[in-house]
Amino acid sequence: MEIDPFVFRLSIFILSIFVGYYVVWSVTPSLHTPLMSVTNAISSVIIVGAIIAALAGNDNNIFNESSVFGFLAIILAAVNIFGGFLVTQRMLAMYKKKKK
Amino acid sequence: MISTNLLALFYLISGVLFILALRGLSSPETSRQGNFFGILGMLIAVVVTFLSIGNFSTSFVYVIVFLLIGGSIGAMIAFKIPMTAMPELVAGFHSLVGLAAVFVAISAFLNPEAFNLGKSGNIKLASLIEMSIGAAVGAITFSGSIIAFLKLRGVMSGAPITFPGQHILNLIILISIIGLTYFLCTTQSSNLFWTLILISFLVGVLLIIPIGGADMPVVISMLNSYSGWAAAGIGFTLENTALIITGALVGSSGAILSYIMCKGMNRSFFSVILGGFGGTDQVSKSNNKEQKPVKSGNSDDAAFLMKNASSVIIVPGYGMAVAQAQHALREMVDTLKKNGIKVSYAIHPVAGRMPGHMNVLLAEANVPYDEVYELEEINNDFANCDVAYVIGANDVTNPVAKTDPQSPIYGMPILDVEKAKSVLFVKRSLSPGYAGVDNDLFYRENTLMLFADAKKMTEDIIKSF
């Protein structure tokens, strides 16, 4: 019998939690705010779902009942992606070492 | 059009790049490169999604237009936002992720064919459960973050809002969510789906209103975690590896941050979530205490003490952010350094309104990050330092946490400020801090209170130097 693809996804999920656990513990506390803004930006990869939803309409009816929600989600996720990465970039640019 | 397998591999690459983005944050030197990996991962994910659908008709143009609209709003916010407003910005961004998750779930529910999830009214059971979880967690993240945003922004009072039966009500609602999900799966009724989302919005509000202002670091981290779990829920629905990996990363990241913040206050996660801490009744109790003698001074006294010091430790807190005193503070430190005085900064894990809040503000004021130390790194140095300059911090310096088992903050790790030869404590009045506890440090022999606005006092000290 073949393994249900769900089990594969679950394995990826569980292993990623562990990867996240170890990676985040090694983040230096002084960068915890950029950590939050960058995790914010990457969790907006949910935009791929929004794109699929938005493109599911046909040309006669681009904004149908379900694709409208896709388009709205695209706006929200895009605000987050651009805002999140740029504000992280802005913060990280401020962290400087002592001039020797 | 690219094949499903190739698509999955590209999503995997995005996921790995996101891991590298977080890995980069282990030190400031590698962090900028890490952020670049994150952007690359996002770009790959979006481009391959377009290629996989291959629908480059009029809808595609609209997708690009909407993406650019959102993107320019985001970019504008990112460039305009002052660093002191970072906590509310992050809370606001969390709410957007939550709402986006809700919208994607709604779209998938209305048009399951587009996602290969079965037919409307006959959605695969597993997909329906995943969708409900994604939508519910997303909705809780959305409304919870809105409340956190309003509290941080000061639109809503930071004081906890409690009412009798609150916890029972929350429990009933949570149980009803589980029940609703069950009936949704058996009946596939869209009314139940909408009810589920509405109730989840309500849970988000009820969950955050009883939590007070200074517990916000925990709340923000927790909502960060929720936004990750919501994304993972949607990732399972859409069978998308990039989303599952990212959701898991963000979920565990937020959970770890909440844990670190709770430990910084020596409180259990559960007690923070139940809320009500820092209510007004505790404050009124401490006001009845007898008046103890306090030494207070002005900027000249402070400048005199610092001039004669050889080492100074600065202890910033939320008050520094409120007074926007970080730039004045750095100027004062420059003056001290010119006089050959050694200066370092000590940061408590829960100083400010979000994890790492003080570090960002100091970085903004051009303070080199290698002069800024965490609690464990610097706590032993207070005994050897001449002056501790407490600016905007309070509870995190209270020696009562070490000595009085009756105190609500007993056991909380604190900065050993009282061990310094002299303590300069900038504060507007003798009012107790967030925990409603009188700070023992005010009445110590070696403490000199400087009653003034943090920024004004710091500027005056520069002038008196």
Q: Say which residues have a Cβ less than 8 Å from residue B186's Cβ, sequence separation at least 6.
A: none
Query: Is residue B285 very low, low, confident or very high in pLDDT (cuts 50, 70, 90)?
Result: very low
Say how far apart CA B195 and CA B17 lie, in whole Å: 38
Is B15 within 8 Å of A16 when comparing Cβ atoms? yes
> Is B395 one of the annotated active-site residues of the chain?
yes
What pLDDT is recorded for position A88? 95
Query: CA separation (Å) from B82 to A29, B256, B273, B414?
Result: 21, 27, 29, 29
Say how far apart CA A73 and CA B243 lie, in whole Å: 15
Query: Is residue B347 very low, low, confident or very high in pLDDT (cuts 50, 70, 90)?
Result: very high
SS (H, E, C) B37-76: HHHHHHHHHHHHHHHHHCCCCHHHHHHHHHHHHHHHHHHH
B31 touches chain A (CB under 8 A): yes
What pLDDT is recorded for position B284? 41
Q: Average of pLDDT values for B152-158? A: 84
Of residues B189 and B45, more confidently modeled:
B45
pLDDT at residue B399 tops 80: yes
Which of B39, B117, B137, B374 is best to mutate for the A interface (most A CBs within 10 A)?
B39
pLDDT at residue B283 tops 60: no
List the structure tokens of A68.
């409208």
Q: Report ipTM for this prediction.
A: 0.94
What pLDDT is recorded for position B25? 94
User: Count of CB atoms within 10 A of residue B445's CB?
Assistant: 8
Q: Average of pLDDT values for B203-225? A: 88
What pLDDT is recorded for position A59? 65
Share of chain B above pLDDT 70, in %: 96
Question: How does B268-283 read in b/e, with b if 16+ C-beta sit within 10 Å?
Answer: ebeebbebbbbbeeeb
Decide: helix, strand or coil at residue B122: strand
Inter-residue contact A50 to B95 (CB < 8 Å): no
Inter-residue contact B460 to B452 (CB < 8 Å): yes
pLDDT at residue B281 tops 80: no
List the structure tokens of B189.
């009724």
Decide: helix, strand or coil at residue B322: helix
pTM: 0.90
Nearest to A67 by CA among B140, A59, B194: A59
Is B368 within 8 Å of A5 when comparing Cβ atoms? no
The alpha carbons of chain B give a radius of gyration, in whole angstroms, of 25
Say how far apart CA B430 and CA B438 lie, in whole Å: 8
Which of A8, A45, A81 is best to mutate for the B interface (most B CBs within 10 A)?
A45
Is A37 within 8 Å of B371 when comparing Cβ atoms? no
Is B114 within 8 Å of A66 when comparing Cβ atoms? yes
Output the CA torsion sign for B298, B303, B304, B310: positive
Say how far apart CA B116 and CA B53 lie, in whole Å: 13
State the nearest Cα–Cα gap between B223 and chain A, in angstroms.
10
Which of A32, A72, A99 is best to mutate for the B interface (most B CBs within 10 A)?
A32
Catalytic residue among B395, B416, B438, B460: B395
Is A82 within 8 Å of B108 when comparing Cβ atoms? no
Note the pLDDT tens digit of each residue in A37-74: 999 999 999 999 999 989 886 667 777 888 899 999 99
Considering only A46-50, B339-343, B376-380, B407-411, which range has the smallest mean pLDDT? B407-411
Inter-residue contact A28 to B26 (CB < 8 Å): yes
Closest CB to A9: pick one of B69, B234, B236: B236
pLDDT at residue B291 tops 80: no
Query: Is residue B280 very low, low, confident or very high in pLDDT (cuts 50, 70, 90)?
Result: very low
Q: Average of pLDDT values for B49-78? A: 90
Say how far apart CA B28 and CA B319 lie, in whole Å: 26
User: Count of CB atoms within 10 A of residue A95's CB?
Assistant: 25
- HSE-CB at B421 with a 13 A cutoff on CA atoms is 11
pLDDT at residue B4 tops 80: yes
Say how far apart CA A93 and CA B45 lie, in whole Å: 26
What pLDDT is recorded for position B226? 93
pLDDT at residue B246 tops 50: yes
Say how far apart CA B188 and CA B216 lie, in whole Å: 38
Q: Which amino acid is at B293?
A: P
Contact list in A for residue B257 (CB cut-off 8 A) is 24, 32, 35-36
Q: Which amino acid is at B65?
A: V
pLDDT at residue B282 tops 60: no
Decide: helix, strand or coil at residue B327: helix
Query: CA separation (Å) from B367 to A29, B100, B377?
Result: 16, 37, 18
State the nearest Cα–Cα gap between B189 and chain A, in angstroms.
16
Of residues B217 and A74, more confidently modeled:
A74
Say how far apart CA B142 and CA B105 lie, in whole Å: 14
Query: Is residue B336 very low, low, confident or very high in pLDDT (cuts 50, 70, 90)?
Result: very high
What pLDDT is recorded for position B286? 46
User: Count of CB atoms within 10 A of residue B19's CB?
Assistant: 22
Considering only B192-206, B284-298, B311-325, which range has the smallest mean pLDDT? B284-298
Note the pLDDT tens digit of each residue in B119-151: 877 888 888 999 999 999 999 999 999 999 999
Say how far apart CA B226 and CA B97 lie, in whole Å: 10
Q: Are strands B122-123 and B118-119 parallel, antiparallel or unpaired?
A: antiparallel
Question: What number of H helices and E strands is found in chain A?
Answer: 4, 0
pLDDT at residue B34 tops 80: yes
Mean pLDDT, chain B, whole residue set:
89
Contact list in B for residue A72 (CB cut-off 8 A) is 103
Residue with tokens 């973050």: B145
List the structure tokens of B431.
């009012």
Nearest to B328 by CA among B426, B455, B464: B455
What pLDDT is recorded for position B278? 55
